[in-house]
Amino acid sequence: MEGLRLALSWLTVLPVSGPATVDRRTAGAAIRWAPVPGLLLGGLAAGVLHGLTWVGAPPLVAALLVLAATAMATRGMHLDGLADTADGLGCYGPPERALAVMRDGAAGPFAVVTLLLVLGLQAGALAQLATQPERWPAVLIAALAGRWAFTWCCRRGVPAARPDGLGALVAGTQSWLVGVLGAVLLGAAAVVAVPARPWQGPLAVAVAAALVLLLSAHTRRRFGGVTGDVLGAAAELAGTAVLVVTACGPP
């Protein structure tokens, strides 16, 4: 259970104390447990969206407040990873320069544009889902997809880009089978995301998986491996894909 405790303490603001010592074994277990915090965060997002819509809040206002709530619940960690990854991919030079830019922490133009685009897509999709309560399970699927993305980014054969940091702890700790099985189970669960079109939820998961695969392959070439920032970027990318795809189409 140390892996679950670590996952909760890493990925949420819940007052859960992690293990006194974190090694690769415990960190790898935390990556496998990541869907549990995802389920909690998805439940929070769906609950806030439902509650605000029920009291008459405009859909876009409800969507923006959901994004604010989830950002606070995760300490903005995944958004920070997305921003740093965007700046790293956008800079010129060897991998060492890209990693230095990511470690700097300052938000450059690529980070700002990427955050605006991703948050705008998420807000628009959530606003659409707020008007169609039968699709609210899609919010849960999106949160789970974001945490499943960790498993694929940390699969065996992908090294850490740095000798220290989160990437060094979790790189190569997950088997391909765990990643594939997680995607299959998530796709099966996504059948309920859009009840009128049972194929749309699995399609959303497939799109999310394809984008995570591309991101993982590209960041491995560009940075030399995985970092903690890449995990955050993968989570935001996968979650956004599921929200956008499930929000499309007539009721």
Range with the largest mean pLDDT of 92-101, 136-145, 170-179: 136-145
- pLDDT grade, residue 21 (50/70/90)? confident
Handedness of CA 162, 164, 167, 169 (dihedral sign): positive
Distance CA 251, CA 75 (A): 34
Cβ atoms of 201 and 194 within 8 Å: the answer is yes
For residues 197-213, average pLDDT: 96
For residues 37-64, average pLDDT: 95
CA angle 164, 107, 35 (to 5 degrees): 55
Cβ atoms of 7 and 148 within 8 Å: the answer is no
Tokens of 126: 């959530």
Decide if pLDDT at 145 tops 80.
yes
- pLDDT grade, residue 46 (50/70/90)? very high
Side chain identity, residue 236? E
Nearest to 195 by CA among 137, 131, 126: 137
Mean pLDDT, the chain, rounded, equals 93
> DSSP assignment of 188-221, as one string?
HHGGGTSTT-TTHHHHHHHHHHHHHHHHHHHHHH
Decide if pLDDT at 18 tops 80.
no
Tokens of 133: 């309560």
Helix, strand and coil content of the chain, in percent to the nearest 5, comes to 75, 0, 25
